[in-house]
Structure 1
């Protein structure tokens, strides 16, 4: 039974408290801000991103190149096998780059499409690293990741529709309508794509809708969960309190700040939760 190294990308939004000493390699996506290219987490910190976001005229992301993944794979020579977890292939071309790179190296690489993003993806990465460091085989890790992927639920509120409109996720008319009516869209990730869950009037009702979704989907089963936010610590705290009031047993709860890769598309003030039934 050999060592398994985990590779992922910057779309995972891992909590700062998660600092494995070995076994995790993160490939950054590129963030283009006003015609300047940055690497998420390399030369663009979350703090700098928060500062630049409100005034940026042009901002978008680009997937890593196959060469970026080749470099990461080649840094795993201490391991016998590599498992790479990527952003949903239905949201980004990152998965395709990772697969192409796996054919360009001698390392034994398997690429896993999380069909998720942000903290949903992050929960899978953390579980994979935990299992790898505990000596699990790649087959065992993959089997559990598939189970988590099938049962993962994600719901989030977006404070403003501006960034979704700017990045082509909705039309300009819908963005203007949402601003005028103070509509807060509640979104979910279904089969690897972003889909509407509900439309509410105001942030309080949006949070209540997420909490209700959490309670309904968890159905009193113990869950492992992670809350995400971008410049919304107060909203994250309110959401955490709401989840506790459902009475759903939460085996583990982390809180993560959304980084540039995902934050470009959501904008500030976003908050949400990802969760799956805890696996014994």
Structure 2
């Protein structure tokens, strides 16, 4: 039986310590903060990053450096027989396409999955992939199962439109008008895309609408449920209780870290579901 390494990127919102405890691996993505290039998690804490964003820092993100990614694969292949790479959705980053091209030099020992995911669902899926590998599933079998049998849906409510404007998700004029009129957008993440699902006039209405949109699905026991947040943990715990009462399932509270927060900003709250894989 092949020994398979499971690799995610920074968009999975996982620390090195958490990844080690789970038995999975992470390739880090670069950040540019006020023109200074750093590697996510290196040289800046979550608290420092949040404060810089609140202070108006200009933040940009990039896909993993291709040279670093290839080096990571080679490093893992010294210990493992093969690598399964689960990057952020191809609809949100060029990571997937770059990785697929680079993997062609590895004689089938590196397989890249188009997850159509970001944030904590990548962690959940990585753990499922690890369990499937331990059961003897092949690289292609795991890839096909993830790409064909699972998907995530989430609704995200940002505290302000400023960061979406800075990331090019909405125009400066739309952001200025929205902030002036106190319009709160509800963003949906579905099939790997982020799009505006609805707009309401108060934050509380936005949170409740996000929950209702997310839980509108039969067989709720077939999903992992989660509430994600950036710098608003107590609020996330409050809404975790509401979601748990509605779906009668365990709900995990997970942080949004730098790579995703760079686009949504501090104060963001989201609720989502991920279809479980059965194997």
TM-score normalised according to structure 1 size? 0.89
More divergent stretch after superposition (268-277 vs 109-118) = 268-277
Select between 269-278 and 84-93 the one with higher mean Cα deviation: 269-278
Match 1:270 to one of 264, 268, 271: 268
Q: Unaligned 5+ residue runs, structure 1? A: none
Residue-by-residue CA offset, 1:64-89 (whole Å, 9 max, x unaligned): 22111111101212211211011111
**Corresponding position of 2:210:** 210
Shift of 1:231: 0.6
Indicate the residue corresponding to 1:201 in structure 2: 201
**Whole-Å separation in 1 of the counterparts to 2:187 and 2:272:** 12
Q: How far apart, in 2, do the equivalents of 1:78 and 1:23 lie?
A: 13
Q: Which residue matches 2:128? A: 127
Change in 2 beyond 3 A, CA 1:214/1:22? closer
Distance 1:172 1:218, change over 3 A: farther
* Alignment gaps of 5+ in structure 2: none
SS in 2 for 1:217: coil
Distance 1:130 1:183, change over 3 A: farther
**In structure 2, do the counterparts of structure 1 residues 225 and 135 end up closer, same or farther at CA, with 3 Å as the change threshold?**
farther
Q: Does structure 2 retain, via aligned residues, the 8 Å contact 1:91–1:192?
A: yes
What SS class does the counterpart of residue 98 from structure 1 fall into?
helix
Q: Deviations over 1:190-226 (max 9, x none)?
A: 2221111111111111111111112212554442122
Q: Is the 8 A contact 1:157 1:272 kept in 2?
A: yes
- Alpha-carbon deviation of 1:238? 2.3
Name the Cα RMSD after superposition.
2.3
Q: Indicate the residue corresponding to 2:160 in structure 1.
A: 160
The SS at the match of 1:68 is helix
String of CA shifts for 1:221-248, please: whole Å, max 9, x gaps.
44212221101112211220121121x2
Partner of 1:73: 73
Answer whether contact 2:186 2:210 (CA < 8 A) is retained. Answer: yes
Q: Deviations over 1:11-67 (max 9, x none)?
A: 111389944447422111111001111111233332221122112442111112211
Cα 1:103–1:16 shift into 2, 3 Å:
closer
